[in-house]
Amino acid sequence: MGIPRSAVLLLQDGRFFIGNSFGADGETIGEVCFNTGMTGYQEILTDPSYCRQIVTMTAPHIGNYGVNPDDIESNKIQVAGFVIKEETVNPSNWRSTQSIGDYLRVNKIVGIQKIDTRALTRHIRNNGAMNGIISTIDSDVDSLKQKLKKAPDMTGLDLAKEVTCQNHYTWSSTNQSSNESIQFKIAAIDFGIKFNILRLLESYGCDITVFPANVTSREIMNFNPDGVFLSNGPGDPAAVTYGIKTVKELLGQKPIFGICLGHQILALALGAKTFKMKFGHRGINHPVKNLKTGIVEITSQNHGFAVDLDSLPPSVEPTHVNLNDNTSEGIRCKNVPAFSVQFHPESSPGPHDSRYLFETFIQMMKE
């Protein structure tokens, strides 16, 4: 591999870190955030919800089990950049086909390693997620500051349009259900959908057609599905005005289930508000209380915006809350068949505590 090339990570507030290049050479800008998961780095890298974000992994060693063609959540790496403490250069796993460093290099993703990721994480926790730039080709901090000034803030950014599919398509995996087992016809609106959501819906006997984020309610109603799914995705939910309009027009017409950005868009369509969080929730061990059962579920999360619980109209009730900061984790409509959660019940990576929510959607369509 030769002598490691130096790299710089500069934050918007002037704090900078000097380390070694990790992945491709070059320069990248994005909102710097952190993920507390100790595993699942390949799923994190390929999650469209991380579009335009530089992800910091808090676990000290990344790449232990390598990467493989199966553990992906979209058709490419979605992160803007990757920050780790130390790469495992020689992975050990029978499924591994590539090291994490090679994976990033092949996909032209710029990263940095050998920095104090604990200090970086603490800085973000104290000061909030902010834009940053990683460079392996320019070490002049003043020069990097000028480049960083041109980057837009995450608030107000519609990124769903960057990650959505261009045309509708029918989902099918290698273990797709036989025609005899298909019970429900699903229209999934792709704001940045993860593959494992589609796999799980398929496992419940759903025939899924995925539509672009800008699909109209008329197109959905002409398709005449048994239910509508609103996917996860990146950016500011309030900026996805076309998606909010479509969902508002579908309310009461078809059963609706939303996850992550889909949760926020459903809430906005119902008249609630959303806000930018200080540093968001990103990890695979977030405790969420189910307000109906009282059970605490350990959940996988990835979001930087949240629904304002105080803005929920009387026709909507909260179903789940985050036990770390009491933010919204789920809502349900009282008068129409629609519900959503902020966390990721499909996990990948993460625990399976909340996969019953897919059964809830199935039951809603049956009724």
The answer to whether residues 17 and 115 touch, using CB atoms and an 8 Å cutoff, is yes
The answer to whether residues 299 and 344 touch, using CB atoms and an 8 Å cutoff, is yes
Strand partners, 212: 190
What is the Cα–Cα distance from 84 to 87, expressed in whole angstroms?
A: 7
What is the Cα–Cα distance from 72 to 163, expressed in whole angstroms?
A: 15
Q: Among 142, 217, 202, 129, which Cα is nearest to 170's?
A: 202
What is the Cα–Cα distance from 132 to 236, expressed in whole angstroms?
A: 18
Token code pair at residue 261: 């950005």
Residues belonging to the active site: 260, 344, 346
Give ∠ CA 286-290-296 in degrees, rounded to 5. Answer: 50
Return the SS3 of 247. helix
The answer to whether residues 106 and 136 touch, using CB atoms and an 8 Å cutoff, is no
Strand partners, 210: 169, 188
Q: Among 13, 25, 48, which Cα is nearest to 153's?
A: 13
